[in-house]
Amino acid sequence: MAQDNFKPVVVWLILNGKTEEALTLLAKNYKVNVPGLRVGLPKGRKIKASGCYTARNETISVLNSDILANPFVIIHEFYHHLRCKAVDKIHRGTEKNADRFALEFLREYEKAVTKAQRVT
């Protein structure tokens, strides 16, 4: 796959409910383990969130099945997976970076969509 297609494809897969495929693709691209994926947040969370990442078992949890198709949340949580692997198992204060990482994918997706529309 051409590198410039990578980000749009990841977003497309998530939007179409192929979230596990998207995570497999992401993991392959960044050379990390494929994170687990589950619906339902771990108990005892104080903060209400759409998703969270648990480094202990390398699992991305999402609030409900709608969120499974939300590229922003999935890619944001994947960023935590990346960062945890790179450093140690501590969830770091990288929320802004995770948002930036996810937005970059969405931007590339929008660009690809716009380009496709121009051709047809």
Report DSSP letters for 89-116, one per residue: SS--S-HHHHHHHHHHHHHHHHHHHHHH
Least Cα distance to 54 among 66, 67, 41, 65 occurs for 41
Minimum distance from residue 39 beta carbon to Zn ion (Å): 18
Q: Is the dihedral angle over the CA atoms 51, 39, 68, 77 positive or is it negative?
A: positive
> Of residues 22, 82, 98, 102, which one binds Zn ion by CB under 5 A?
98
CB of 67 to Zn ion, least distance (A): 13
The smaller minimum CB distance to Zn ion, of residues 94 and 112, is found at: 94
Q: Which stretch binds Zn ion (CB under 5 A): 1-9, 14-22, 67-75, 92-100?
A: 92-100
Size of the site for Zn ion (CB under 5 A): 2
